[in-house]
Structure 1
Amino acid sequence: MTTADAGSGSSSAPAGTGADDELTRVTSDPWERQVVWWDVGFVLIVLLTATAMALGGVDGGRLWTAYAAMAVMLLAYAVWGARAARTRDQRRAAAYVVVLIAGTAVAIAQGGLATFLLFASFTQLWMLLEPPRRAVVASVALGVATTFAIAAQQGFDLPTLLEAAPQMGVAIAFSVLLGLWFATTMRRSDERARLLHELRRAQAELAESHHAAGVTSERERIAREIHDTLAQGFTSVVTQAQAATAALDRGEQGRARERLLVVEQTARDNLAEARALVAAFAPVPLQGSTLAEALRRLAERFTAETGTPVMLDVAGVTGAVGGGATGHAAADVVLLRAAQEALANVRRHAGAHAVTIRLTRDGDDGDAPDVRLEVTDDGRGLPPGQVDGLGLAGMRERVSAVGGTLAVEPGAEGGTRVEVHVPSSGGAA
């Protein structure tokens, strides 16, 4: 990758790291803008050389020959050299270098201070030609051509040629050493810019990947929230509405009214849950109440909707600091959602006559003990296909997110036992 690639190929990405700041510094002046200064410098050197030759007493014929050579050099640079400097096109660069060496030699052969052109010529060889060995060959060619041009000023005799050769040899050696240093520095700069550009691109790809993962995770979280709240509430509404319709068909007005009251309360709770989801608040049952109180309301509502009695045992956890069972709101939410899902499975699959919800602590109170939730029923148990259903899968994800464990197994006396163990320092759900 060339400096031009590194400069023009950089893309924007959120800043925030030292590498980003360094990349911004390295590529803030792209290669195309740097080449503009090479353009200006070359034109200035040619103009200064032309002025020096005019003031140096070069006669008219030689002066105009030198001017013609320099004009051809400028034209070749405009046609080939400038574009080669920007695109690193070696064919254009080679064509321009041939004109550059010939034009420089012709101008120097006319005498005066035309040797000033060597400052630009040697530099452009190393700027344009790749790999460095081509620049070395071109530097030697330029040096040899310049030696003969200097000798031509004095009639091209052997003594003059031998006198100019050592001086030009030193110039060639200096040019090659300086050019190699310049090429090495440029390659390192190119590599550094390339690596920083790749780092920026990798950071952008990583940020995009994290964003996609975050979107997926949020969708899954919302799906679990809807499943654990709204979907269960709507299931209850449908069930109670059917029960009310059946009661009306039997002429049981009082029974139908009771079912409709449950439908109304369930719908209100669902509406509150929906508003809480939209506002990204904590679940409604835990707003302004403890986990024990929320579980009590959940048990009462389940009993009212299904007629199945629920025994709630929360002894020893009602006095938790801050009103929660675990001391962490997210872990309390996990326990509440687990209880909701367990009761939903009892409603759909168990055919149970009684349900027990037990919330206990593990260990001593003074050691911030962990919390265990058990939901057991005396029904037929979950069908095998339901073990990996959406509800239990979501429950496992929730429990795992706070560092807890979930066990679903047959009860000691039949039915199903769901056990959730959550550490008191549970993380975010």
Structure 2
Amino acid sequence: MATLSGLPPAPAVAGWAPVTEIAGGRGEFWRRSMRAWDIAFWIMVAITAAFSVPTAPSVARGSAALAGYVTLVVAYHLLGRRGARADDTRLTQAYLVVLVVVTSTEAWLVELGIVLLFVSYSQIWFFAVDRVRGVMWTVALTLGIIVATALRVEADPGDLPEIAGQATLGLVFSIGLGLWVTYVAEQSEERAYLLDGLRETQAALAASHHAEGVLAERARLAQEIHDTLAQGYTSIVMLAQTAAAELEREHTGSARERVEQIEAVARDNLAEARALVAAFAPPALEDGDLPAALRRLGARFAAETGTAVDVAVDDVADVPQDVAVALLRAAQESLANVRRHAGATHVHLRFARVDDDVELEVTDDGRGLRDDDLEGNGVRGLRDRARAGGGELALVGSVGRGTRVLLRLPLGGTR
């Protein structure tokens, strides 16, 4: 009686074969797992050949069995492996043809050749491009094994049902295990692609945040330069022009006073530049006294421009530094706008606490605002500071009735 003793149930080794088209396609899965499969293939084929060839009933059959193993190795290298790396299904399917023929032939040549099924069934589920074709190749290989075994043992017709029954059990187990491992591998592969996508998204998000941070820092530095150095240089230019006019009229005393003011403004600008480079607080706030800084700012503006400035500030304690910087810069920008555009004779600067907020108000009696006046960088900077601090900015005025700037910020920071 002939049997298929030793017929392995064809485990789908090493997580072979997500066979549906997922995220990156079949080729990407092959490339991910090719190295592990190479190692498994060489070891299993070498062991199978070493144990089966010596058991051949004749030298001729042993030589033929060895040639079959060599053929399988060459086909794997030229067809299966190359097709997997190039994502060429024509090569991989051609390799499966060779695999089925060689495995069936080995089962016919030598009794232990059937052990090659461990390699063959696993490779079918690895190289098949979908579940249906995986099942078809498994059935084809099982039929080949049935025929080869029957020929090798010279089975009688009565032996065929038993041979076919044992082969069918192996077939069912192989298909079931292959489909289950395929499902598990698909889930694992899908998670790997999701993780890859997440990493790419995180990298893109980090790059985007970095770029946004760079742009935000550039905008912040540009605003700081506009509110400090640019205004200081404007003051220097205007004072220098005034001093030149005084010299032409031979008013040396007044000219000397303007030169001293130029020196003071230049020193202040130098201190501001050093503070910007070192990321320190503005020099005017080194002592942490915002009301005093506002009083000094109003006095200097009056001295430089000859415009009367009333400063009414409350001694508000514990003003956070970021709020104090925003208020001081707003006062500097508002007075700079009065100097450049208003033509005012009187300015009122008020700083006070209102509930949990602080208010800065700068009012002048200059030309006011016209409907066609464009909002410049200075006003946009004031709005940005108000928005960043969680506060509000009001800018109102009418022709011939002056302008009023009111900035209100929470003492507790952004809200």
Q: What is the TM-score when the length of structure 1 is the normalising length?
A: 0.87
1:211-230 → structure 2 map (5 Å cutoff): 211-230=210-229
Q: Measure how far apart 1:386 and its partner are.
A: 4.3
Distance 1:8 1:292 in 2: 71
Partner of 1:40: 39
1:357 and 2:355 are equivalent in the alignment: no
Letter in 2 for 1:119: F
Partner of 2:240: 241
Q: 2:376 aligns with which of 383, 386, 389?
A: 389
Distance 1:184 1:399 in 2: 57
Partner of 2:394: 407
Runs of 5+ in structure 1 lacking a partner? 10-29, 322-326, 364-368
Distance 2:79 2:27 in 1: 20
Q: Measure how far apart 1:37 and its partner are.
A: 3.0
Distance 2:170 2:322 in 1: 77
Q: Which secondary structure does the structure 1 equivalent of 2:111 belong to?
A: coil
Partner of 2:406: 419
Partner of 1:378: 365
Q: CA contact under 8 A between 1:374 and 1:419: conserved in structure 2?
A: yes
Q: Measure how far apart 1:32 and its partner are.
A: 4.6
Q: Pick 1 or 2: higher relative contact order, CA cutoff 8 A, min separation 6.
A: 2
Q: CA contact under 8 A between 1:2 and 1:190: conserved in structure 2?
A: no
Distance 1:395 1:319 in 2: 21
Per-residue deviation, residues 325-370 of structure 1 (Å, max 9, x unmatched): xx2111111111111111111111111111111111213xxxxx31
Per-residue deviation, residues 168-217 of structure 1 (Å, max 9, x unmatched): 11111111111111211221122111111111111111112212211221
Letter in 2 for 1:281: F
Q: CA contact under 8 A between 1:229 and 1:270: conserved in structure 2?
A: yes
Letter in 2 for 1:402: G
Q: Which secondary structure does the structure 2 equivalent of 1:421 belong to?
A: strand
Distance 2:282 2:26 in 1: 52
Q: 1:318 aligns with which of 315, 326, 330?
A: 315
Partner of 1:13: none
1:59-138 → structure 2 map (5 Å cutoff): 59-138=58-137
| RMSD (Å), alpha carbons | 2.3
Q: Measure how far apart 1:39 and its partner are.
A: 2.0
Instruction: Give the 3 Å change call, closer, same or farther, for CA 6–128 of structure 1 in structure 2.
Output: closer
Q: Measure how far apart 1:405 and its partner are.
A: 0.7
Instruction: Give the 3 Å change call, closer, same or farther, for CA 31–90 of structure 1 in structure 2.
Output: closer
Q: CA contact under 8 A between 2:365 and 2:401: conserved in structure 1?
A: yes
Q: Which secondary structure does the structure 1 equivalent of 2:368 belong to?
A: coil
Distance 1:267 1:6 in 2: 67
Q: What percent of counterpart residues are identical?
A: 45
Q: CA contact under 8 A between 1:45 and 1:116: conserved in structure 2?
A: no
1:348 and 2:345 are equivalent in the alignment: no
Per-residue deviation, residues 380-410 of structure 1 (Å, max 9, x unmatched): 1134454521111100110111111111112
Q: What is the TM-score when the length of structure 2 is the normalising length?
A: 0.90
Q: Which secondary structure does the structure 2 equivalent of 1:320 belong to?
A: coil
Letter in 1 for 2:409: V
Q: Measure how far apart 1:263 and its partner are.
A: 0.6
Distance 1:76 1:46 in 2: 13
Say how many residue pairs are matched. 396
Q: CA contact under 8 A between 1:411 and 1:417: conserved in structure 2?
A: no
Deviates more, 1:30-39 or 1:166-175: 30-39
Q: Which secondary structure does the structure 2 equivalent of 1:380 belong to?
A: coil
